[in-house]
Amino acid sequence: MESVFEIIAEPNRRAILSLLVSSEQSVGEIERQLRMPQPTVSKHLRVLRDAGFVESTVDAQRRLYRLKPEPLQEVDDWLAPFRRFWSAHVDALERHLERMGQHPTTKSTPAKGKTRRRK
């Protein structure tokens, strides 16, 4: 499995991680909320645990899984250089649109702050 990027390439695993960001969950809770078969959940949790994305504690027959920050921070670190790159790009684009006096995609961006867009 190797890298953290391969781990989060799997959609179900990303779903599980997103679910755990709010609070810890048991396997059954994950299973029900994400509507995926229990072995699937367990197998993905195994992968996530081996890679350090989650940890678990035992509560009677249940296992409670919770998030661990390090691996995703690694992804975040990898993104750092690109973040610098695209903020420069956004600035350039804004200056360009400014000179053009046009706002084709954004409708009069209110004020300051980073203009984050989502697809």
Site residues, DNA (CB under 7 A):
1-2, 6, 9-10, 12, 26-28, 31, 37-47, 56, 60-63
Cβ partners under 8 Å of residue 11, min gap 6: none
Site of tokens 């919770």: 66
Site of tokens 């250089």: 81
Which spans of this chain sit near its own copies (rule: CB under 8 A)?
3, 5-6, 8-9, 11, 14, 17-18, 21, 67, 69-70, 72-79, 81-83, 85-86, 89-90, 116-119
Residue 41 CB, nearest approach to DNA (Å)? 7
> Which of the choices its own copies, DNA, none does residue 54 contact, using the CB cut-off of 5 to 8 A by kind?
none
Residue 63 CB, nearest approach to DNA (Å)? 4
Between CA 117 and CA 119 the distance in angstroms is: 7
Amino acid occupying residue 28:
G
- Whose CA is closest to 50, among 24, 13, 21, 79? 13
Residue 119 CB, nearest approach to DNA (Å)? 20
